Structure 1
Amino acid sequence: MKSDGPTIGLEDMASRLRDAIGPTFVRVGGQVPERNGADASRLPPIAPSILATPDTTEAVSQVLRLCSEAHWPVVVQGGLTGLAGGAHPKGTEVALSLERMTGIEEIDPVAGTLTARAGTILQVVQQAAVEAGFLCGIDLGARGSCTIGGNVATNAGGNRVLRYGMTRHNVLGLEAVLADGTIVTSLNKMLKNNAGYDWTQMFIGSEGTLGVVTRVVLGLHPLPGDISAAFLKVSDFAAAVAVQRALERALPGRLMAFEAMWPEVMAMSERCFGLKSPFASHDGIALLVEVEASESEVDALEGCLMGLVDQGVVQDAFLARSEADRLGFWKFRETPYEYRSKFGTMVSFDISLPRALLEEAVGTIRNRVLDMWPDTVVAVFGHLADSNLHVILLRVDETLGGYEAVESVVYGTVGEFGGSISAEHGIGRKKRAFLHLSRSPAEIALMERVKAALDPGRILNRDRVLGGREVHSSGP
């Protein structure tokens, strides 16, 4: 049953938390650091009522038990890099930060697993894996600040999904704390374990609404060999798919990255960021491809690309001859991360679309946006082989309906084409009003039933994922 509100006041709640986990782990009012007042969603900053920073699973359990008993809502915070507002606090919440829950607990070279506490930075996990002779399959741009617990909570995607899958494909076991403080532990290291319900998978991607993940067991991968990169230009989406299939046939299981940039991204890379495109024009789609290829297999890669050029599938192709070349190719793909600092306000979308309908859907989004906001720049790029695109709109006229109107146009089109309003960034607070476009009423009702069973007081990440529209004063 949903709580009507806290049954005790702020000072009493803070006092109980201090008694349970120690006074140095609980802050109130002006003691709360500014960083805990916002995540990366660009919602207006607001300090939580209380900040709790437990350093053990048992302390997390104490915090949740006390908050559950007093009906105090809790927002879970990790690296605060989320773009959907899932960790962005409200002024009436206890912020439960896992910033002290850090460290690699074990690397098992026989099982090929790594166990880490949830607050551990992803890059730390990656480095520990490499030092042990393995690879962590999870990688994303925020690797230096996001946490492994946050990756699990949002089922993060990123740059290696094509080869290693989303976060859930890399997780073997979890430990989590339920809303009432119950600790559930399944630090499984086995690939096969069909002993009843796999509750751990239910927690992956639940965005802290069902429980707080405290420890993670990752399955690790062999370190890849030499990586070859190519920068290609094709005329359209059909040609891009043909390139992917040809590379998969030439070097099965070796494709590491397959990134696409539509014309506006390439044009702005030159005009606004000073990069020099190797292509003569900006029409068509630019592809950044990475393939694991030994020295003897590079010939096969070159032969495949030359054949695609001869067939007219690829209009132009450049193979990286050095690490500097490879990084130079990636600079084009990474310029969208600088759009906000360069252009100021923008609206961004993280979507998935059925591959067979992707080109038509992108064209429909572009046409509908430009019909309503003719001066808007529509920049499209993303993980093409994963069906995941990022759409950034620049120079949107706020007087013509503002961001909510733009969201309705883009998300509405995604819904029409049977796509997902969130490919890898989660739902949080910012997308929950559009969840019905990607999930059926029966699915949402099931989510509500699961939420009610595990968190009957609805204290955990309240109004994230599930709930109605929330009005925002700034763009994503």
Structure 2
Amino acid sequence: MDAVERGRPGEDALEELRVELGAQAVLTGNDIPLRNRNDWSSKPPAQPLAVLRPSNSEEAARAIATCRAARLPFVPQGGLTGLCGGATPEPGWVAISLERMVGIEEIDPVSATMTVKAGTPLEVVQRAADEAGFLFPLDLGSRGSCAIGGNLSTNAGGNRVIRYGMTRDLVLGLEVVLPDGTVLTNLNKLLKNNAGYDLKHLFIGSEGTLGIITRVVLRLFPKPRSTTAALCALSSYADVAALLAGARSGLGPILSAFEVMWPDYWQVVTERLKVRSPVASGHGFYVLVETHGSDEATDAARFQSWLEEMMESGILADAAVAQSHAQVKDFWAVRDACAEFGTGLGPHISYDIGLQVGRMDSFASRCKTALEAGIPGCESVYYGHIGDGNLHLVAWVAGLPLGEQPKDAMDTIVYGLVREMGGSISAEHGIGTMKKKWLGHARSEAEIALMRVLKGALDPENLLNPGKVISL
């Protein structure tokens, strides 16, 4: 079903929306920005029939109802930083961008909540919480570009899941426009609310296939009064596992991040990207440990005592402790250097998988060997959050442009091992279209069948982001 087949009804619908919403809300032809043709995935870009830019939920509902009446498929778009093609349109589709639905509506210091419009960038949310004396703990490398609605749509993870949970754990209420144009408003501020089904969880993580999130009530947390961090070097993965267990028991609830870097990642970051590190190269693993606490003197002493205990037990080969907030940021620069892989490595394919912590090093070793043996010239590096079961890897063949990277062969090897080792093909990035064919590696036939039932019930005409995650 493309724009040519629809003919005038699509054009008439867009003209109707121009009259109702204003010319600034309906972009067509050469007025459509290039950014609306794709997200950050390697999926080929596509020109939508139009980009609709509602300014509130009522306008979004009107846009959806009009698209539905004209049988125009439509895809929601936020910051377009997704990596799986979930926000990418197909030719003849309409993109509904939330870029004008931006702003903090309320910060309630008593209930420790923030009500925010879905198009608001994550960094704006973080800054508003900070200025109000709170912390909004969700943190991603794309914080300046990604939109909070998209974070909910993909149930984003990030750096501090081990302490604060996934995005769904940070949401109390939301407003969503259903595929038929109904506005479902439940801006709940209650942590305890068991009055029937908790419908927000239908939409969080559904990647814009069941409804379009327009407003959100977020949980806020006390701003940490102390932050400590150490960059640790270890000899083996057994030591990494022992350090994680020691951190959980010795640091308890103040443990906020546990980031692990394999030596291949370390080599790329320090040698190719020239990122300076406070610990020497040549070790088996590198771990960034961070805490958020409430008493600077007590927490610093506790952290130092814990590190000394780990050193005396032989778990640590070396460690550097941050002496200031600036040094904490410097430590994170080593872990966040993966954002510069496009410069340091050239074209590459990124993977985001979930595994039991005890199986991660075995996976990394087997995967690296399989990629090298199965794909001539294939290199790969491994890193991840680990404490929450999330491993990232990047694979590439040097000298090949992105479109010629052997992604299908890489996918077969990586996801085949994931299935064999009982993991997930997506820990935090979603499915979209890029991972859709592999969904059965992580979900049972019964689970996928139920997903289809939900999609068919809410979107029987299959017009909202059709073909993403599952097919009807």
TM class by smaller structure:
over 0.9
Q: What is the CA–CA distance in structure 1 between the aligned matches of 2:94 and 2:360, rounded to whole Å? A: 42
The Cα of 1:374 is off from its aligned counterpart by: 5.0
Q: What is the CA–CA distance in structure 2 between the aligned matches of 1:279 and 1:27, rounded to whole Å? A: 52
Q: What is the CA–CA distance in structure 1 between the aligned matches of 2:371 and 2:131, rounded to whole Å? A: 48
Match of 1:55 in 2: 55
Match of 2:323 in 1: 321
Q: What is the CA–CA distance in structure 2 between the aligned matches of 1:280 and 1:33, rounded to whole Å? A: 46
TM-score by length of 1: 0.93
Q: Relative CO higher for 1 or 2, CA cutoff 8 Å, sep ≥ 6?
A: 1
Match of 1:255 in 2: 255
Amino acid at match of 1:215: R
Match of 1:362 in 2: 364
Task: Say if 1:373 and 1:396, in contact at 8 Å, map to a contact too.
Answer: no
The Cα of 1:358 is off from its aligned counterpart by: 2.0
Where 2:308 maps in the other structure, the secondary structure is helix
CA deviation digits over 1:426-448, x for unaligned, max 9?
11111111111111110001000
Consecutive unaligned residues of structure 2, counting only runs of 5 or more, are: none
Match of 2:463 in 1: 459
Task: Say if 1:7 and 1:71, in contact at 8 Å, map to a contact too.
Answer: no
Match of 2:78 in 1: 78
Q: What is the CA–CA distance in structure 2 between the aligned matches of 1:312 and 1:400, rounded to whole Å? A: 46
The Cα of 1:299 is off from its aligned counterpart by: 2.2
Match of 2:44 in 1: 44
Using a 3 Å threshold, how does the CA distance of structure 1 residues 283 and 372 change in structure 2: closer, same or farther? Answer: farther
Task: Say if 1:248 and 1:254, in contact at 8 Å, map to a contact too.
Answer: no
CA deviation digits over 1:27-66, x for unaligned, max 9?
2111212221121113222221011111111111111111
Alignment root-mean-square deviation, CA: 2.0
Q: What is the CA–CA distance in structure 2 between the aligned matches of 1:244 and 1:342, rounded to whole Å? A: 30
Match of 2:443 among 427, 439, 443: 439
Amino acid at match of 1:136: F
Task: Say if 1:257 and 1:288, in contact at 8 Å, map to a contact too.
Answer: yes
Task: Say if 2:368 and 2:379, in contact at 8 Å, map to a contact too.
Answer: no
Where 2:394 maps in the other structure, the secondary structure is strand
The Cα of 1:373 is off from its aligned counterpart by: 2.7
Match of 2:311 in 1: 309
The Cα of 1:6 is off from its aligned counterpart by: 4.6
Task: Say if 2:360 and 2:391, in contact at 8 Å, map to a contact too.
Answer: no
How many matched pairs? 465
> What does residue range 24-35 of structure 1 map to in structure 2 within 5 Å?
24-35=24-35
Where 2:450 maps in the other structure, the secondary structure is helix
Match of 2:406 in 1: 402
Where 1:102 maps in the other structure, the secondary structure is coil
Q: Percent identity?
A: 44
After TM superposition, the structure 1 stretch with the greater mean CA deviation from structure 2, 77-86 or 401-410, is 401-410
Match of 2:175 in 1: 175
Q: What is the CA–CA distance in structure 2 between the aligned matches of 1:269 and 1:28, rounded to whole Å? A: 42
Where 1:415 maps in the other structure, the secondary structure is helix
The Cα of 1:397 is off from its aligned counterpart by: 8.4
CA deviation digits over 1:83-102, x for unaligned, max 9?
11111121110010011111
Consecutive unaligned residues of structure 1, counting only runs of 5 or more, are: 469-476
Task: Say if 2:396 and 2:405, in contact at 8 Å, map to a contact too.
Answer: no
TM-score by length of 2: 0.94
> What does residue range 266-281 of structure 1 map to in structure 2 within 5 Å?
266-281=266-281
Using a 3 Å threshold, how does the CA distance of structure 1 residues 208 and 401 change in structure 2: closer, same or farther? Answer: closer
Q: What is the CA–CA distance in structure 1 between the aligned matches of 2:6 and 2:241, rounded to whole Å? A: 54
Q: What is the CA–CA distance in structure 1 between the aligned matches of 2:434 and 2:268, rounded to whole Å? A: 28
After TM superposition, the structure 1 stretch with the greater mean CA deviation from structure 2, 239-248 or 143-152, is 239-248
Task: Say if 2:279 and 2:320, in contact at 8 Å, map to a contact too.
Answer: no
